[in-house]
């Protein structure tokens, strides 16, 4: 077999292997639905490092009396109608209601949950298969388009025969000993076209349409009256102070309308760490087993889940940890 044939065989086989792996991962994220279980895409980092944004969690319904501390519960978010929350059962209060907490959050959730409202208990984690859902919710079209293009390319290679047939060689269509042999027609690549069209259609449907909303500082007129909407005001004056050898304290000032919370952003992405409306600082550290990096930290004001404003100022922190030992400090 010539080197070009070996290359063709290797590329086609690798493409089919990747496609098979993607199908297998997707199967484990969808198949449990047939059993009446629930699949949920993790959208935030509040359960890091146990669950990462983009992970798909399969939740299994269990009787209310079987709920135990330490289980990851799926339940309707008591603070936001129509949204599900995936947090760990932290404790049971005096009324018998469930107190939950995100692994990455410093405090337990403010609202307790009734046992009867629990949808299920986390049973299976499928890593990162839900990242396209996260990208779509954040309107990040570049990674979505790149993923779709990658799948199309893989599908194109996967439908190519791994071994070149005799009819693929143009010399086989030359006359032999004065006789003409009729070449068999080449198989069209219709399957590749179908796969590409399907992927493009799925990506197009998955992209959510932008929501229509009044601007944060806009005035809405209703007949003879007008209502001025609340303004999401960014925090200012971010500061960084070293706290011992293992953490830093990031502080800020704020003079706007009381928000639902302040969310810490690390390198532009939500870290899953948030504080209440009355807080003006947060302590940051690292629990990673191994990390060596410098990160840019900013703070986002969340009036609601959709009305937000990010601080124009930032601070930088450096974290160095090896085998769980190290320090986090303010970068100069």
- Domain ranges within the chain, ordered by starting residue: 36-129, 236-330
- The answer to whether domain 36-129 has CATH 2.10.109.10 is yes
In terms of pLDDT, which residue wins out, 164 or 282? 282
Q: How far apart are CA 238 and CA 312, in angstroms?
A: 9
Mean pLDDT of 88-109: 91
pTM for the structure as a whole: 0.47
Task: Say if residue 158 is exposed, middle or buried (CB neighbours under 10 Å; 0-12, 13-18, 19+).
Answer: buried
Is the per-residue pLDDT at 226 higher than 70?
Answer: no
Helix residue spans in 36-122 (DSSP H): none
pLDDT for res 87: 93
Q: 197 in helix, strand or coil?
A: helix
Q: How far apart are CA 318 and CA 332, in angstroms?
A: 9
Confidence of residue 229 (pLDDT cuts 50, 70, 90): very low
CB atoms within 10 A of CB 45: 22
Most confident of 74-88, 98-112, 148-162, 309-323: 98-112
Mean pLDDT of 311-323: 83
- The CATH class of 236-330 is mainly beta
Q: How far apart are CA 282 and CA 297, in angstroms?
A: 11
Strands 247-253, 261-266: pairing is unpaired
Cβ–Cβ < 8 Å for 232, 244: no
């Amino acid at each position: 077999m010539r080197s070009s044939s070996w290359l063709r065989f290797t590329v086609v086989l690798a493409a089919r292997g990747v496609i098979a792996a993607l199908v297998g991962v997707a199967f484990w994220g969808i198949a449990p639905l047939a059993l009446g279980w629930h699949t949920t895409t993790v959208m935030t980092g509040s359960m890091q490092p146990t669950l990462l944004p983009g992970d798909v969690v399969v939740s299994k319904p269990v009787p209310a009396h079987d709920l135990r501390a330490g289980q990851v519960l799926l339940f309707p978010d008591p603070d936001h109608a129509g949204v599900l929350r995936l947090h760990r059962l932290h404790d049971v209060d005096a009324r018998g209601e469930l107190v939950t907490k995100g692994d990455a959050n410093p405090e337990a959730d403010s609202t307790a949950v009734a046992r009867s409202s629990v949808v299920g208990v986390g049973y299976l984690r499928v890593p990162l298969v839900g990242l396209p859902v996260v990208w779509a919710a954040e309107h990040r079209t570049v990674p979505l388009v790149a993923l779709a293009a990658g799948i199309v390319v893989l599908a194109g290679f996967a439908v190519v025969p791994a071994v070149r047939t005799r009819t693929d060689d143009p010399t086989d269509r030359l006359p032999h000993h004065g006789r003409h042999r009729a070449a068999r027609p080449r198989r069209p690549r219709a399957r590749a076209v179908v796969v590409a069209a399907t992927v493009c259609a799925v990506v197009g449907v998955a992209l959510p349409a932008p929501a229509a909303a009044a601007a944060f500082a806009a005035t809405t007129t209703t007949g003879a009256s007008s209502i001025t909407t609340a303004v999401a005001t960014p925090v200012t004056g971010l500061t960084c102070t070293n706290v011992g050898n293992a953490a830093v304290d990031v502080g800020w000032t704020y003079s706007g309308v009381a928000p639902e919370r302040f969310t810490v952003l690390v390198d532009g992405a939500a870290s899953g760490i948030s504080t209440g409306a009355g807080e003006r600082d947060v302590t940051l550290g690292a629990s990673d087993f191994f990390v060596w990096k410098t990160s840019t930290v900013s703070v986002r004001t969340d009036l609601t889940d959709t009305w937000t404003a990010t601080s124009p100022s930032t601070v930088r922190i450096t974290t160095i940890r090896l085998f769980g030992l190290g320090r986090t400090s303010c970068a100069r």
